[in-house]
């Protein structure tokens, strides 16, 4: 299956709440997890991430856990996992608005000379900095695309 076909086969979740969500509610987390994990699996493949990198992005889950999630999404990745997935999917979407598909998928792994990145790759920045770094990258991309 090609990249576009893989991308089209996933129902990309919109994790931005249309209303206040209560992530303490198990059924809410189950519903969001069922959509978010398969989408993160696809974006990790499209970005060319190793399983270890993808596992680390999802909160340093074990490699065996990530590989199990790739085959069958868990019922619940918790608030932290959903927060991470939301940022990653937001970054993915912003990149695909700003750039063509090939460059959007390569952007995370290319060195970036911008002040936020200081020659590092965006992937390295968010692997080192976790959720706060994901937030900075997401805000940077939103600014580049004009907040669309």
Dump pLDDT digits (tens) for 92-121. Answer: 999 999 999 999 999 999 999 999 999 999
Residue 61, in any domain of the structure: yes
Residue 102, in any domain of the structure: yes
Close Cβ partners of 146 (under 8 Å, ≥ 6 residues apart): none
The count of domains in the chain is 1
Close Cβ partners of 30 (under 8 Å, ≥ 6 residues apart): 75, 76
Domain hosting residue 84, numbered range: 25-144
pTM of the model: 0.86
Residue 19, in any domain of the structure: no
Residue 35, in any domain of the structure: yes
Residue 7, in any domain of the structure: no
Residue 2, in any domain of the structure: no
């Amino acid at each position: 299956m090609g990249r576009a076909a893989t991308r089209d086969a996933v129902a990309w979740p919109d994790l931005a709440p249309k209303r206040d969500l209560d992530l303490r509610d198990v059924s809410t987390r189950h519903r969001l997890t069922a959509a978010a994990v398969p989408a993160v699996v696809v974006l990790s493949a499209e970005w060319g991430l190793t399983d270890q990198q993808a596992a680390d992005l999802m909160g340093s889950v074990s490699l065996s856990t990530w590989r199990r999630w790739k085959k069958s999404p868990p019922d619940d990745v918790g608030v932290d996992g959903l927060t991470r997935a939301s940022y990653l999917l937001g970054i993915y979407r912003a990149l695909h608005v700003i750039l063509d598909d090939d460059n959007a998928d390569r952007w995370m792994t290319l060195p970036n000379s911008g002040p936020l990145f200081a020659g590092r790759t965006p992937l390295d920045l968010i692997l080192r900095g976790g959720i706060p770094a994901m937030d900075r990258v997401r805000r940077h991309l939103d600014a580049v695309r004009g907040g669309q």
